[in-house]
Structures are given as C-alpha cells and as structure tokens.
Amino acid sequence: MHHLVLSVVVITVIVIYVVLPLIFRYSATFQRQLVFLPYTTSLRWPIKVNYSQPKIHGLKGARNFYISIEPKVHVGAWHVLPRDLVDTLSDNTEQSLANGNPIVLYLHGNSGSRATGHRVELYKLLQFHNYHVIAFDYRGFADSTQVLMTENGATIDAIRVYEYIRQFSGKSTVIVWGHSLGSAVAIKMVAELCAVKQSPDRLILESPFNNIRDEFRNHPLTLIYRPLSVVDRFFTERLETNNVAFDSDVHIAGVECPTLFLHASDDRIVPISLTRKLYEAGLKSRPSNAAALQFIEFPPDLHCGHECIYSAPQLPSIIQQFVDVDRF
C-alpha cells in the first residue's frame, strides 16, 4: 500500500510539473483552450442551455438572434430591451436601437456563455435602468460557430457585432462593456475602431488586467508553479506566437473615448494591482487629446469579488454619471 501511494504521488507530481507545462508550452490548441475555457459551459448547471428563449433566464423583452461574422462563422446574441420598451413594443427588432436609450455591447470573459448567472444579473440591472443590452458569445462558445479561437478571432467577432449595432443605433449612445478577458477584447477592438474613426461613445472595463502574462503569473491556479519559475518559462513565452497575448497595456494607447475602470479590491482572480498597471499605462501612452480615464474601486465589504460588481448599490449611479457627462 505504501508503494502504491508513493507511486501515485510521484505520477501526480510528474503530470503537474512536467506533463502539463510541456503540453501548454508546445500545444497551441491546448493553450488557447485554457485561456478561453469555452467548454465550461457544458460543465455548469443547467447542462443544456436554451439560448433561443432568453425569457427562460428571467429576461423579459429579450430576443435571441445570430450575426454573420464571415463566411461559415456566426455568433449567437441576445438583445435585451430597456424596461420602458418591454411593454410598449409589440416586437423586439433592430429598429428599437435608435429610440435614444443608451446601448451596451457586453463582451464576457472566459468560460461560460451569455447565459451565465452573473452576466444575466448585469443585463437585468442595465435593463431596469433603461439600457439596451447586446450580449453575444464569441466563436467557439455556446451556440456560436465552433471554430478555432484566437485573440484576433474574438476581436473580429466584437467588431462585427459593434458594426451591426451601428447600422441601427441612430444617435443613441453606444457603450462597449468588457469583463475580465472580455475587457482585453474590448480594448483591442476599440483601439482598432478609434484608428478608423469609428469609436464607440464610451468604454467600460470591469475587472480588467494589463496583459495575459501578468494575469497568468498572478492567477490562483499558477500558485504551485511560481517557486520554480515555470510560469514564465512554460506558460507565457508563447502566448503572443499563439495569438492569445492580450496586451491591453499596449493596445490602450489607441483608445481615445472616455473609459471607466471598475474593479473590486477583493477580486482574487484578477488582482486590482493589474488594473492599476493598465490604468497607469493608459495615462502614460494615450494622446494628450484623448478623453478622460476614470478608476472606481469597490471596497471588500461589498463582497463583489471578480464577478459581482453588478451587486454594488452605487453602480447604477456610477454608470449613469459616466454616460451622461459630456455626452456626444
């Protein structure tokens, strides 16, 4: 029995400290899967999510639809109407986007889908305060086309959904809201849009990080590797080569629209120090004529963590003030 236990321990150590780092380093597919974690959708309850009926998830006045990104690639999306339109419109269509209510394009983080609980709670909050919400799943997630995921692919998806919104938004304010990994997608897409003078009116970054390398170094799952310097040697060197670098601290130099940083000090997934680094990078690198950056920290007594800033009682007024000040 003693030898069996010892053998199990040795094998486990070899798998954790040798096999997994080697697979991560030399398999681009495995690395991308670990960054995006798309398959966790099927591991959460309920196992089979019905995306075609948002009302099952408690969303009134919401519709499910699909947006073509490129040949053979589409993404699944929800349009959640503002509260005041839910009972007044006979049908939820694209034309309602031009009614003047602000529109939030929501970019979720890794794992799960647009139907994940904390995301739905944010949609409900925004709906109650009379925002349109467009939420979608990147390629490789949920009911979107199951193809290879990359940083560029997620960015293209976000830009195409933004372009879809702009077709119908009229003079309505358009806000891009990215959470966690979605904040990195948001920063890159907005920088690219600013470069061609198609910037959104506002950018909100919830629990963002400065780059994926620092996030790996600080993530709880890499804690066991840190004493051996394996994180840098095996987990971060090939991120750029495999198109999952997410260098937000570089891309933020191209973001010119008003930008709001939201982070909880008790976030254990993305330390608030990484958001501060990103904020400082933006202050230093953006053009002098770029719009202001604003940083809001939520104290630990609110228990917001990584996913629950939507529950902070002051959030609605923070968002409203950010949207209303110097509105375009």
**Residues with catalytic roles:** 180, 267, 306
Q: b/e per residue, 34-48, with b = 16+ CB within 10 A?
A: bbbebeebeeeeeee
Q: Cα(139)–Cα(126) distance, rounded to whole angstroms?
A: 25
State how beta strands 73-80 and 62-70 pair.
antiparallel
User: Which of helix, strand or coil describes residue 44?
Assistant: coil
DSSP 8-state code for residue 235: I
Q: Cα(172)–Cα(275) distance, rounded to whole angstroms?
A: 29
Closest C-alpha to 176, from 105, 237, 243: 105
Helix ranges (DSSP H) in the chain: 2-14, 20-26, 28-36, 83-86, 117-128, 151-168, 181-195, 212-218, 230, 248-251, 272-285, 315-324
